[in-house]
């Protein structure tokens, strides 16, 4: 059985290293360098996109699994901290994923099992990255009666 074929492309739009990336059936995204001589950081850098892809992949799994378990999760934030090697190719060598689940009455065991299933069975991005990086994770539950609005990176929500 043959797997799904996917096509992607980037088009250089300038200035500097600014690109527009797209797939056949998806919206476009701006990609840029994060600030060397040519980059303007007008979009996410390719390695930043990898981390966003990891967070998005595992978040979708956990949200789906928690819904099937009928858990009262009103929001989920997945935070990723990573370290890269100092030499080329500068791959990620350590990645820590923090899951922050919002909602009153969430069963911690259900959340931890959903995370385990994502990380060990379902998330394709984790499956690729674990070959070059040590991946760890942690989770916490924030009791919130209404959907919480998580803050930006670096906030304590």
Could you list the beta-strand ranges (E) of 8-133. Answer: 8-12, 19-23, 29-31, 75-84, 92-102
Query: What is the per-residue pLDDT for 2?
Result: 84
The answer to whether 74 and 106 are in contact (CB under 8 A) is: no
Residue 152 scores a pLDDT above 80: no
Domain extents in the chain: 1-44, 46-142
Residue 75 scores a pLDDT above 90: yes
β 19-23/29-31 pair status: antiparallel
Q: What distance in Å separates the CA atoms of residue 82 and residue 47, rounded to the nearest whole number?
A: 10
Cα distances (Å, whole numbers) of residue 50 to 35, 102, 143, 154:
18, 25, 30, 19
Q: What distance in Å separates the CA atoms of residue 135 and residue 157, rounded to the nearest whole number?
A: 22
- Reported as a single tens digit per residue, the pLDDT across 88-97 is 999 999 999 9
CATH architecture of 46-142: 2-Layer Sandwich (3.30)
- Reported as a single tens digit per residue, the pLDDT across 76-133 is 999 999 999 999 999 999 999 999 999 999 999 999 999 999 999 999 999 999 999 9
Q: Which residues does residue 137 pair with via DSSP β-bridges, in sequence order?
A: 97
Residue 17 scores a pLDDT above 70: yes
């Amino acid at each position: 059985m043959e797997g799904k074929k996917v096509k992607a492309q980037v088009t250089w739009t300038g200035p500097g290293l600014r690109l527009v990336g797209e797939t056949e059936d998806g919206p476009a995204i701006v990609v840029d360098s994060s600030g060397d001589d040519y980059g303007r950081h007008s979009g996410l850098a390719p390695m930043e996109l990898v981390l966003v892809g990891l967070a998005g992949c595992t978040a979708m799994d956990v949200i789906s699994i928690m819904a099937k378990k009928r858990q009262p999760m009103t929001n989920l934030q997945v935070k990723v901290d990573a370290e890269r090697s100092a030499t080329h190719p500068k791959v990620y060598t350590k990645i820590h994923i923090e899951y922050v689940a919002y909602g009153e009455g969430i069963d911690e065991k259900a959340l931890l099992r959903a995370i385990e299933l994502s990380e060990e069975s379902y998330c394709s991005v984790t499956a690729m990255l674990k070959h070059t990086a040590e991946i760890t994770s942690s989770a916490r539950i924030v009791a919130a009666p209404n959907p919480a609005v998580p803050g930006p990176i670096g906030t304590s929500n």
